[in-house]
C-alpha cells in the first residue's frame, strides 16, 4: 500500500480497497499504523511544500492546488469541479475553468519573476462534470532559437482518462523579447 500511495499520492481509500481487495476499514487502519495521512491531508502537505517555490504568480491567482512543482521542469495541480464551476442545467464544467487550471500551472512552473502566456494550442478531449477532480500535469520544454520563451505541455486527467491537452508558449522576463505595445513581437 505504501508504494501505491508513493506512486500515486492522489489515490483514494476507495480506490485502494478495489485494488487491494480489502475493506475500507482495513485500508484506514493500515494507513494509520503506517503513519500515512488521508488523501486530503497528503494533498495539503504537498501543496504547502510546492507553494514556497512558485515565483511567477501570487497564491490567490493560481487556479487549483499545486501539489508538486519542480521549477522549469514539471508540476502537478489538482482542481475539484464544484457547483460554481458548472453549467446549472447540465452539471458540465465551464471550459474556461479547465483551461485556467492548465494555464496557471503552465505559468507557475516557470522559474522567473514574470511569466505570461504568449499563446496556447488547446484541445478539450471530453466534458468534465460536477465533483470530478482534475489532475493537471505540466512539462517544460525549451524552444530553441527563441530566447525568453518556454514551451509547456499540460495534460489534464480525471482518474486515468485525459480530458484536456494544451501546448503553451510562455514568455519569460529573463529573455530578450519585449512586450512593447502589449503583445509579443
CB 102 within 8 A of CB 136: yes
Residuewise pLDDT in 10s, the chain (185 residues): 888 887 777 788 888 998 999 998 898 888 888 888 787 777 666 655 555 467 777 767 889 998 888 889 999 999 999 999 999 999 999 999 999 999 999 999 998 888 999 999 999 999 999 999 999 999 999 754 456 899 999 999 999 999 999 999 999 876 544 443 334 43
The whole-number pLDDT of residue 73 equals: 93
Q: What is the distance between the alpha carbons of residues 101 and 96, in angstroms, rounded to a whole number?
A: 9
Q: What is the pLDDT of residue 52?
A: 47
Q: What is the pLDDT of residue 60?
A: 75
Q: Report the pLDDT value the prediction gives residue 100, as an integer from 0 to 100.
A: 97
Element (H, E) at 151: strand 149-158
How high is the pLDDT of residue 147? 64
Show me where the domains of the chain are located: 2-36, 55-182
Sign of dihedral through CA atoms 140, 145, 149, 154? negative
pLDDT at site 47: 59
Per-residue pLDDT, 76? 93
pLDDT for res 181: 36
Distance CA 152, CA 140 (A): 4
Q: If one looks up domain 55-182 in CATH, what number appears?
A: 3.10.129.10
- Distance of alpha carbon 37 from the chain centroid: 21
**How much is the pTM?**
0.70
Amino acid at each position: 500500500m505504501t508504494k501505491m500511495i508513493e506512486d500515486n499520492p492522489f489515490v483514494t481509500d476507495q480506490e485502494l480497497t478495489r485494488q487491494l481487495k480489502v475493506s475500507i476499514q482495513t485500508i484506514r487502519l493500515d494507513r494509520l499504523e503506517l503513519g500515512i495521512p488521508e488523501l486530503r491531508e497528503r494533498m495539503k502537505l504537498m501543496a504547502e511544500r510546492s507553494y514556497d517555490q512558485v515565483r511567477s504568480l501570487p497564491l490567490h491567482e493560481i487556479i487549483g492546488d499545486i501539489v508538486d512543482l519542480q521549477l522549469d521542469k514539471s508540476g502537478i495541480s489538482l482542481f475539484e469541479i464544484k457547483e460554481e464551476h458548472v453549467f446549472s442545467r447540465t452539471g458540465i464544467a465551464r471550459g474556461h475553468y479547465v483551461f485556467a487550471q492548465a494555464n496557471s500551472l503552465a505559468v507557475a512552473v516557470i522559474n522567473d519573476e514574470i511569466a505570461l502566456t504568449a499563446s496556447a494550442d488547446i484541445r478539450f478531449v471530453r466534458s468534465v462534470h460536477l465533483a470530478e477532480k482534475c489532475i493537471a500535469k505540466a512539462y517544460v520544454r525549451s524552444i530553441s532559437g527563441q530566447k525568453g520563451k518556454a514551451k509547456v505541455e499540460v495534460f489534464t486527467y480525471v482518474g486515468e482518462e485525459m480530458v484536456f491537452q494544451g501546448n503553451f508558449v510562455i514568455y519569460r522576463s529573463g529573455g530578450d523579447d519585449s512586450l512593447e505595445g502589449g503583445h509579443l513581437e
